[in-house]
């Protein structure tokens, strides 16, 4: 088993690409996708592309991801195998003997149909992992120099980029957060108003930081970043991040969860992350039910999906979150085959819902057969940025979803759990699919249903990604109705009294971005719920999005 360890650098040589196609990328924002394509066209591999895409996203998808956030990536190929890099946030406070007075306060976000309370402030920031995680992944498996990988992000940060409708909408939703302090107002409200679709935003401080990262010593820039964390988010400033925290933090390489499903093997995020094991439990139940014989989107199909999602919710309510840290081997046994363990039955619990789910996902497969899927998040952001660096820090310590035992209860130094579940599906030992999703608790449901749509029902990729979805948490069902066959809506409402019906596709149900390699042909599908886009890299170049 490839477990938590340091590994040697992978190959960096190039191979000729068949048919002039160098790779495919699916993302939730045009600049993000274009950054990855640029690296593929310059001879980079899937890891170069996904790191470049995520660096660009820290500029152009700033409400969703940041170098002050965290995430996870699964990547690999048939020759060298597959691994997960965990660079999610860690609980701060190492070396502190008493809890300081925290800058930690509730703030209400209005989603229109509902409101939700988040906690922000410097005391909501976990030890971030995204910067060191992206650097570690590039060192481990990238091919091109770091200066080329950072170049798209540098250009958009310095010169500005056009804000997409989705990013403008999300910034508007979290207006109380993006206007909370002068340091974040500079990033989001340079004209003293919320950004609108088509506006140009720039972040020259972040551009300068990234430029120095690529041209000089990355270690020196990381040291500058860590010093800023301590100077502005330490205990004397209302935060919890200590010198011991930043010294101890490192990305962790893990063996992926391996879930057999028919002729395929599904590889996904292992404990202490929550999403992968829950997806595995759902696949297990679907396998036991023989899912796939029903007409797609029919009454029988929708009721079967609801039964599977209800079981997944029961599993989470049966002490699952505790086992992520205390007994991770039990999670691997849960998804490996055989009967569901006794603790995975007969227990439902209502869990809090994050209506936004401020995460974003990128998937890549290159022409050489390397796949990578990466999900990152900044939470909603804590409302404070690092002065001089243009980096908005996370509020992971202020989200109910990932603090099930209560705020500030996790032991200092512990890696926090997350529903993020970047996933690769193998046919034999070669990647067939690479996918993942944003969407908070709905991540597990979005990925599970997309997998079943492709693997059990054989649906085309775009239909599999954009078909109507459900989500169940405790005793509550949410579902989208477009495209459902006659009688399906009524059946769901009869079996789940009080179900919430969406008459159009909603970002509530996640944002799956998926790429595929089928019989040597590359394909992709972006989730229209969250602005999904697919770009192919070829030998002729690409125009990319407007800048």
In tens, the pLDDT along 104-152 reads 999 887 766 567 788 999 999 999 999 999 999 999 999 999 999 999 9
At which residue do the structure tokens 């796939």 appear? 292
In this structure, what token pair is assigned to residue 313?
Answer: 């919710």
Of 59, 160, 60, 19, residue with least CA distance to 533: 60
- pLDDT for 343 equals 60
Of 510, 494, 483, residue with least CA distance to 375: 510
Catalytic residue, chosen from 32, 359, 375, 418, is: 359
**What are 24-42's pLDDT values in tens digits?**
999 999 999 999 999 999 9
Q: At what angle do helices 146-159 and 30-41 cross, to 10 degrees?
A: 150
Give me the DSSP letters along 454-467. HHTT---HHHHHHS
Q: What structural domains and CATH numbers belong to the chain? A: 28-253+359-369+379-402 (no CATH), 262-355+421-538 (3.60.20)
Whether the pLDDT of residue 454 is over 70: the answer is: yes
Using CA atoms, how far residue 462 sits from 227, 320, 467, 533, 542, in Å, is 45, 33, 8, 11, 22
Q: At what angle do helices 299-315 and 443-455 cross, to 10 degrees?
A: 140
CB atoms within 10 A of CB 314: 20
- pLDDT for 217 equals 86
Q: State the chain's mean pLDDT as an integer.
A: 90
Q: How confident is the model at residue 342 (pLDDT cuts 50, 70, 90)?
A: low
d(CA 402, CA 440): 9
d(CA 270, CA 325): 11
Q: Which residues lie below 8 Å from residue 314, measured CB to CB, with a gap of 6+?
A: 344, 345, 346, 347, 348
d(CA 205, CA 220): 16
**Alpha-carbon torsion (268, 269, 270, 275), positive or negative:** negative
At which residue do the structure tokens 């976000």 appear? 109
- pLDDT for 344 equals 61
Partners of 292 in the β-ladder = none
- Is 108 catalytic? The answer is no
In this structure, what token pair is assigned to residue 116?
Answer: 């939700």
d(CA 28, CA 361): 7
Mean pLDDT of 47-61: 98
Minimum mean pLDDT among 106-110, 439-443, 489-493: which range? 106-110
């Amino acid at each position: 088993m490839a477990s938590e360890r340091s590994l040697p650098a992978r190959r960096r040589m190039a191979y000729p690409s068949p048919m002039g196609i160098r790779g495919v990328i699916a993302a939730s924002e045009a600049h993000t996708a274009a950054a990855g394509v640029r690296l593929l066209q310059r001879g980079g591999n899937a890891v170069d592309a996904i790191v470049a895409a995520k660096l660009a996203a820290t500029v152009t998808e700033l409400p969703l991801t940041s170098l002050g956030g965290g995430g996870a990536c699964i990547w690999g190929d048939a020759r060298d195998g597959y691994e997960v890099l965990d660079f999610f946030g860690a609980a701060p406070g190492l070396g502190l003997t008493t809890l300081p007075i925290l800058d930690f306060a509730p703030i209400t976000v209005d989603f229109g149909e509902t409101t939700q309370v988040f906690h922000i402030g410097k005391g909501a920031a976990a030890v971030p992992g995204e910067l060191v995680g992206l650097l570690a992944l590039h060192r481990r498996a990238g091919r091109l120099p770091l200066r080329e990988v950072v170049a798209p992000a540098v250009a958009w940060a310095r010169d500005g980029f056009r804000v997409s409708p989705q990013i403008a909408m999300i910034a508007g939703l979290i207006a109380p957060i993006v206007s909370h302090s002068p340091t974040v107002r500079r990033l989001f409200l340079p004209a003293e108003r919320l950004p609108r679709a088509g506006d140009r935003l720039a972040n020259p401080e972040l551009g300068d930081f990234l430029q120095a990262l690529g041209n000089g010593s990355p270690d020196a820039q990381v040291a500058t970043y860590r010093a800023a964390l301590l100077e502005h988010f330490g205990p004397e400033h209302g935060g919890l991040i200590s010198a011991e925290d930043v010294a101890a933090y490192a990305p962790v390489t893990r063996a992926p969860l391996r879930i057999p499903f028919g002729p395929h093997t599904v590889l996904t995020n292992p404990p202490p992350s929550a999403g992968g094991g829950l997806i595995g439990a759902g696949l297990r139940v679907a396998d036991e039910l023989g899912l796939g014989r029903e007409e797609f989107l029919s009454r029988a199909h929708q009721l079967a999906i609801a039964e599977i999602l209800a079981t997944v919710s029961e599993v989470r309510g049966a002490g699952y979150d505790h086992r992520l840290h205390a007994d991770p081997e039990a999670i691997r046994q849960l998804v490996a085959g055989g009967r569901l363990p006794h603790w995975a039955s007969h227990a439902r619990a209502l869990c809090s819902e994050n209506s936004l789910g401020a995460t974003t996902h990128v998937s890549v497969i290159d022409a050489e057969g390397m796949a990578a899927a990466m999900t990152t998040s900044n939470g909603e952001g804590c409302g404070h940025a690092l002065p001089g660096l243009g980096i908005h820090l996370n509020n992971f310590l202020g989200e109910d979803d990932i603090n099930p035992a209560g705020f500030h209860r996790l032991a200092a130094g512990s890696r926090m759990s997350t529903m993020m579940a970047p996933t690769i599906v193998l046919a034999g030992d070669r990647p067939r699919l690479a996918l993942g999703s944003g969407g908070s608790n709905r991540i597990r449901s979005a990925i599970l249903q997309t997998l079943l749509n492709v693997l059990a029902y054989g649906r085309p990729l775009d239909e599999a990604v954009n078909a109507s979805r459900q989500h169940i948490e405790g005793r509550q069902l949410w579902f989208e109705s477009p495209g459902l066959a006659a009688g399906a809506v009524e059946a769901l409402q009869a079996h789940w009294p009080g179900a919430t019906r969406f008459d159009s596709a909603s970002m509530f149900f996640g944002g799956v971005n998926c790429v595929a390699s089928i019989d040597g042909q590359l394909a992709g599908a972006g989730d229209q719920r969250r602005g999904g886009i697919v770009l192919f890299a070829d030998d002729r170049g690409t125009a990319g999005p407007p800048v």
